């Protein structure tokens, strides 16, 4: 097979991502536009087959390193490629290499995603890196079938709390752009309470603007007596939906607003044709450890895991992070810095 490389238009690129088995929300052009507003430079590298049709590619995010050391490149949940086709993979990696060198990239990090057991990324010139950008382990719900089928896969407590949210008069609505301020207030309170990092308010505003009007996402808010108590921002592409952002208030907790908005998020995802719902991020431990420790631990993602586990689904782990090095000295300094930071946080 002879391949040629080119820069696809956003429409050409998004068509590939939506139709490809390995397409992912974080590989869309809109996600690149979101990151572009916060210091990244998106670059789509396309690979065409002999008939000229786009068959593979990567949305690459570039970011400058300090001290004028060049840039590093990141491919979230990609490349969009058939990993079982070695010839195609090597052609795409060569195209990415060319683009990386043209932009002064010192090293590239890819996080290829899930369901890639048996792929030896080292044979394509990548080296494993334990430091991931995206949470490597998640909980994937099967939301196919009837609503009763979906509810039956949850545990009894979650079903009961969904019913409580309706019984306690939680009003559910799809939020407008004007509701993002209220969502941001909930996000800020949740981040402070649970001690995890959140984005600046402008990040969620831009995410809304890029995804919601086009039908790729919904902001779902839950309120009582006109006061917002919880919200989620859910995204969908093809057969998958992702619960990326969520927040809740400490007030009126007995009304179970977080369960009401999450269930509305699942219903919205089903209406978009999604069959799977990614709860996006649980502690990176095997299922037995998760079940043995979730009741006692609150650090990291453990607090949110207690909520997420009740929705049913399977704990799955991605292929992790893999690096490709163009400047060995800069990369060595980067690895030393990441180890130092990890040591301070341990």
Whether residues 143 and 283 share a domain: the answer is: yes
What average pLDDT is seen over the chain?
94
Pairing of strands 4-6, 41-48: antiparallel
Question: 43-47, 85-89, 168-172, 290-294 — which is least confidently predicted?
Answer: 290-294
Number of domains observed in the structure of the chain: 2
Please compute the mean of the pLDDT values over residues 175-181 and round it to a whole number. 97
pLDDT band of residue 242 (cuts 50, 70, 90) is very high
What percentage of residues in the chain have a pLDDT greater than 70? 97
d(CA 247, CA 258): 8
Whether residues 179 and 80 share a domain: the answer is: no
Domain, as residue range, for 43: 4-134+319-345
pLDDT at 113 over 60: yes
pLDDT at residue 192, as a whole number? 65
pTM: 0.94
Whether residues 312 and 323 share a domain: the answer is: no
pLDDT at 341 over 70: no
pLDDT band of residue 272 (cuts 50, 70, 90) is very high
3-class SS at 65?
A: coil
Whether residues 41 and 110 share a domain: the answer is: yes
Least Cα distance to 55 among 91, 102, 104, 107 occurs for 91
For residue 165, which phi and psi values (nearest 5 degrees)? -60, -35
Whether residues 86 and 218 share a domain: the answer is: no
Q: Which residues of 121-138 are buried (b: 16+ CB within 10 A; e: fewer)?
A: beebebeebeebebebbb
Whether residues 117 and 93 share a domain: the answer is: yes
CATH number at residue 148: 3.40.630.30
Please compute the mean of the pLDDT values over residues 217-223 and round it to a whole number. 98
Please compute the mean of the pLDDT values over residues 140-144 and round it to a whole number. 98
pLDDT at 302 over 90: no
Whether residues 58 and 188 share a domain: the answer is: no
pLDDT at 139 over 80: yes
pLDDT at 260 over 90: yes
Whether residues 81 and 182 share a domain: the answer is: no
Whether residues 273 and 167 share a domain: the answer is: yes
pLDDT at 344 over 70: no
pLDDT at 183 over 60: yes
Whether residues 310 and 326 share a domain: the answer is: no
Whether residues 112 and 63 share a domain: the answer is: yes
Q: 121 or 196: whose pLDDT is higher? A: 121
pLDDT at residue 195, as a whole number? 56
To the nearest 10 degrees (0 to 180), the angle between helices 29-36 and 201-211 is 150
Please compute the mean of the pLDDT values over residues 98-110 and round it to a whole number. 97
Residues in the chain: 346
pLDDT at 90 over 90: yes
Whether residues 99 and 230 share a domain: the answer is: no
What percentage of residues in the chain have a pLDDT greater than 90? 86
């Amino acid at each position: 097979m002879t391949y040629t490389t080119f820069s696809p238009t956003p429409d050409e690129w998004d068509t590939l991502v939506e139709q490809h088995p390995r397409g992912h929300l974080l590989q869309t052009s809109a996600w690149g536009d979101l990151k572009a507003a916060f210091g990244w430079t998106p670059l789509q590298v396309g690979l065409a087959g002999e008939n000229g049709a786009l068959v593979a590619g990567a949305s690459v995010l570039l970011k400058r390193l300090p001290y004028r050391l060049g840039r590093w490149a990141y491919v979230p949940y990609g490349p969009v490629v058939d990993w079982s086709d070695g010839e195609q993979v090597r052609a795409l990696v060569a195209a990415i290499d060319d683009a990386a060198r043209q932009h002064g990239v010192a090293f590239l990090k890819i996080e290829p995603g899930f369901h890639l057991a048996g792929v030896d990324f080292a044979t394509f010139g990548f080296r494993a890196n334990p430091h991931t950008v995206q949470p490597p382990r998640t909980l994937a719900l099967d939301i196919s079938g009837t609503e009763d089928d979906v509810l039956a896969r949850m545990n009894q407590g979650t079903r009961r709390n969904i019913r409580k949210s309706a019984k306690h008069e939680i009003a559910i609505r799809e939020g407008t752009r004007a509701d993002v301020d209220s969502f941001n207030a909930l996000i800020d309170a949740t981040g402070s309470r649970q001690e995890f990092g959140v984005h600046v308010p402008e990040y969620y505003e831009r995410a809304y603007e890029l995804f919601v009007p086009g039908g790729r996402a919904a902001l779902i808010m839950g309120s009582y007596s006109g006061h917002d108590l919880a919200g989620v921002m859910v995204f969908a592409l093809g057969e998958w939906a992702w619960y990326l952002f969520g927040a809740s208030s400490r007030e009126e907790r007995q009304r179970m607003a977080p369960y009401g908005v999450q269930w509305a998020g699942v219903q919205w995802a089903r209406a978009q044709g999604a069959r799977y719902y990614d709860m996006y991020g649980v502690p990176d431990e095997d299922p037995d450890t998760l079940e043995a420790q979730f009741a006692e631990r609150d650090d990291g993602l453990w607090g949110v895991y207690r909520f997420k586990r009740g929705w049913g689904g399977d704990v799955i782990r991605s292929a992790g992070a893999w690096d490709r090095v163009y400047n060995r000295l800069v990369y060595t300094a980067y690895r030393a810095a990441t180890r130092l930071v990890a040591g301070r946080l341990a």
